[in-house]
A = this chain, B = another copy of it.
C-alpha cells in the first residue's frame, strides 16, 4: 500500500502530530509507504511535488506548530485560477489531479483540512479517489466532531494574552478590548473569555447591544472595579447600528481598520468616557507548539485515519465523539457549521458568574 498525505487551508497546531502518527502507524504497524504531498492540493497539480515520509524524517515534529508539508488556501483542483485570453478565469483541473494521484501510484489519499479542503476531498472521492479525511479547524466550527486539534492551543494562547492584559488593565483602570479569532463561530472568544476572566464576551452567535455592554462596564465601575476585559470574536456584530465592516484585502490585514474590536472599543469610549485600549491578537493564535491535549488528539486522529484506510472506509473522515474516536461520512460533516448555542450550558454558566454577552 502507498498512501498520500496532504494538509490544506490555514495552519493549526497539531497538523504535524497527525502527519507523524500517520507515518509511524502506516509504516511501523502495516509496513506501508507514505508519500507527503506539499502545499495542499496545489501539490497534486503541475509538477510532482512530493517526498516519501518515514519515521526518521518526521522525528521531533509532534511538538512543532505548523505543517512540514506546507499548506495553502489556494489550489482547489475543481476551480484553478488561470488566465485565458488575458482574462482571469477558473478551470476544472480535477482530472489532471486524479491523473497525478495515479501516477504517484497512491492507493489512498489522506486529506487533513477544514471545511473547504474536506469539500474538495469529498468531490474527489465521488470521482473515485479513495479518500480519507482528517478534520482541522482552529475555530472549532466543524460539525460532526466534538473538537479538533489546534483549537485548545488557540484558546490557551488567547487566555495567556488575557492574563497579561489583566495586569495592565488593573494598574491603569482601563477597559481592554481584545479581538480573537472566530469569523462565524465564537468558540475561541467564549472559552478564552471564561478562562481569562473576561467581563464581557461578544460572539457572532449573540448579536450585542452596545448599551448593554456599556451598562455592564458602568456597573463594574460603580462597584469600584475600574478595569474591564472585553473579548470580541472577529465576527461579533451589534444588534443595530453600523456593523463593523469586515473588509479584508488580499493580504488580510485591512481588517484592522474597521474590525469588530475597534468598533466595540469606539462605542465604549464614546458612551463611558473611559480609557480604552484595543488589541488584536491575530496570527499568534494559530502558531506555536501544540498543547498536550492537541498533541494527543492529533496522534489519535492520525492513527485512526490509517485504520480507516486499512478498513477501506473511504469517503469518511475521522471524528471525535467523546469518549470515542470514530468516523463519519465527509459529506455529512461539511454540510453545516457548528455554532455556539446561545442557550448552551457554557454560555449560561458564564452568565451565572456575571459575564455579559451584550444581550
Q: Which of A274-312 contact B (CB under 8 A)?
A: 275-284, 286-289, 291-293, 295-296, 299-300, 302-304, 306
Per-residue CB proximity of A40-83 to B under 8 Å, as 1/0? 00000000000000011001101111110011100000000000
Check: A319 CB closer than 8 A to any chain B CB: no
- List, in ascending order, chain B residues with CB within 8 A of A171's CB: 7, 11, 15, 66-67, 70-71
- List, in ascending order, chain B residues with CB within 8 A of A282's CB: 277, 279-280
* Other A-B pairs beyond A66-B166, A146-B323, A300-B346, 11, CB < 8 Å: A21-B352, A60-B166, A146-B322, A159-B295, A194-B299, A195-B299, A253-B276, A291-B291, A299-B349, A299-B353, A322-B322
Contact B65 A168 (CB under 8 A): yes
> In the complex the two chains form, what is the Cα distance from A131 to B81 in whole Å?
58
Contact B322 A345 (CB under 8 A): no
> In the complex the two chains form, what is the Cα distance from A72 to B168 in whole Å?
11
A352 shortest CB reach to chain B, Å: 4
- List, in ascending order, chain B residues with CB within 8 A of A349's CB: 21, 25, 299-300, 303-304, 325
- List, in ascending order, chain B residues with CB within 8 A of A265's CB: 251, 253
Judged by DSSP, the binding face of A is helix
Size category of the binding interface on chain A: 35 or more
Check: A173 CB closer than 8 A to any chain B CB: yes
Contacts A163-B63, A352-B25; A292 near B20 (Cβ below 8 A): no
Contact A280 B293 (CB under 8 A): no
Check: A128 CB closer than 8 A to any chain B CB: no
> In the complex the two chains form, what is the Cα distance from A213 to B131 in whole Å?
37
Check: A262 CB closer than 8 A to any chain B CB: yes
Contacts A251-B275, A353-B20; A168 near B286 (Cβ below 8 A): yes
Contact A353 B66 (CB under 8 A): no
- List, in ascending order, chain B residues with CB within 8 A of A251's CB: 265, 269, 275-278
- List, in ascending order, chain B residues with CB within 8 A of A67's CB: 171
Contact A303 B353 (CB under 8 A): yes
